[in-house]
């Protein structure tokens, strides 16, 4: 489950970051906020998986359900909400 969370958060964050640079979006700050939330989730989960878990005897990871999944959903919703309704391209006349 942790590998899926790490991969999903980083892949979605990279996709949001690239879409910020490639396509005009209606609210670019929301898109970057969604990407930032997903980067934080990926970094937190990577830290917990690589550093914290090996140092304890029997890790019980309730934070995945309390912190990671809600933040992952929030980041995706914030990022996708910024993409709803495109800006009109600039008028070149």
CA 45 – CA 33 distance, rounded (Å) = 18
Give pLDDT, residue 60. Answer: 86
Mean pLDDT for the chain overall: 87
Match 């999944």 to its residue by tokens: 69
In the chain, where are the structural domains located?
2-12+23-83
Rounded to two decimals, the pTM is 0.83
Residue with more model confidence, 15 or 59: 15
Nearest by Cα to 35 from 71, 3, 64, 85: 71
Give pLDDT, residue 84. Answer: 78
How many other C-beta atoms lie within 10 A of the C-beta of residue 8?
16
């Amino acid at each position: 489950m942790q590998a899926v969370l790490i991969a999903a958060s980083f892949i979605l964050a990279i996709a949001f970051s690239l879409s910020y640079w490639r396509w005009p979006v209606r609210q670019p700050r929301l898109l970057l906020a969604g990407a930032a939330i997903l980067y934080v989730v990926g970094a937190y989960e990577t830290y917990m998986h690589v550093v914290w878990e090996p140092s304890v005897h029997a890790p019980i990871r309730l934070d995945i359900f309390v912190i990671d999944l809600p933040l992952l959903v929030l980041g995706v919703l914030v990022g996708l909400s910024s993409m709803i309704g495109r800006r009109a391209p600039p008028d070149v006349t």
